[in-house]
Amino acid sequence: MNLALPFFSSGDGDWTAIDVEPDGRMVAVSVRPPRRAADKPKVLKCGQSSTVAMGVQALEEVARKVEGTSRWTYPLARGDYQLLVLPEPPVLEAEMEASLRWSVSPLIDFPIEEAVVAWMRIPTAEFQPGAEKQVYAIVTRRSMADEQVELFQKAKVPLKAIDVRETALRNIAVLLEKKPEGIGLLTVGPTGIMTTFTFKGELYLDRFIAQSLDEVVTGDAERKQKVFDRVAQQVYQSMDLITRNHPFITIERIVVSPLPVPLGIAAHLAGKLPVPVQALDLASVFDISATPELARPENQARYLTALGAALRGMRKTL
């Protein structure tokens, strides 16, 4: 199998993405890119497995429900890969991966021979020609990638690309841009809170706070206040970091993605940050007429990363 991991051979057209929730339940969604600039990407189908045990049977079940295209992608679970910012080696493009393997080797806790390494540039050359060039290096164990390939092969589901969560969320942020503007997309998940900062459709910074959602939901008002204050502080510091490192970017909005449960975090951040804070309804950027269940915020939160990964068809190169 010629597997793209994780940024190449994106191609135009429909993609189907599958994601696995922390409890092991699989969700899948198929997305068709817009035919015209004024159109929205259309969610063709979505579905989830009836069991919480990731395996061939669950994958076969969710594939039947979605009846995906011939191109499937899977964003790795957080913790199954590392996303590193490194100086861009002064080598030819064809030599980049080999050069980065030397840089990555001392930063991982397993032999580099067992690693799969992919990369993408942090695009600053156009705006800061004199600044040091940097890249994102994505590293995962080859055995981890092989496990996913084997699972899809056994289920006879055509996996064509393995992705990462940061780029899936970047794809969502691209849909939000009304002009060339810096955007911070804040996503609340079962295991933590991530903010993805983008500009002109490119990823420039991501930040993650490990925090159990259950602890926030069941905690008292003081506990929630502390968590929300921590998030506000990190977002503010990240905005300041972008301003200093990339002065051509101004973060103009913070957008809070749909929440699994009502939390009030958008209202809290609005009172703490110097830019507008908006709550996102995915129906404003996706055509969900064929999947009305996605009108519910909790379902939007459940499928968010898969939806972003399935937007791979909107990009020539991820």
Q: Out of 3-17, 83-97, 134-148, 152-166, pick the least confident.
A: 3-17
Domain end, chosen from 115, 141, 167, is at: 141
Residue range of the domain that includes 92? 82-141
* pLDDT single digits (tens) 166-178: 999 999 998 998 8
Q: 6 lies in a domain?
A: no
- Indicate whether 185 and 133 sit together in one domain: no
Q: 223 lies in a domain?
A: yes
- Indicate whether 125 and 186 sit together in one domain: no
* pLDDT single digits (tens) 120-147: 999 888 888 888 999 999 999 999 889 9
What is the greatest pairwise CA distance in the chain? 55
Cβ atoms of residues 133 and 125 within 8 Å: yes
Q: Confidence band (pLDDT; 50, 70, 90) for 51?
A: confident
**pTM (global) more than 0.85:** yes
- The count of domains in the chain is 2
Q: 262 lies in a domain?
A: yes
- Indicate whether 251 and 208 sit together in one domain: yes
Q: 188 lies in a domain?
A: yes
Q: Where residue 96 sits, what CATH number does that domain have?
A: 3.30.1490.300
Supply the DSSP string of 33-84, one letter for each residue.
Answer: --SSTTSPPEEEEEEE-SSSS-SHHHHHHHHHHHT--S-EEEEPPTTSSEEE
- Indicate whether 259 and 208 sit together in one domain: yes
Going by C-alpha positions, the residue among 312, 307, 313 that lies closest to residue 45 is 307
The answer, yes or no, to whether the previous bond of 6 is cis (omega within 30 of 0) is yes
Q: 57 lies in a domain?
A: no
- Indicate whether 110 and 199 sit together in one domain: no
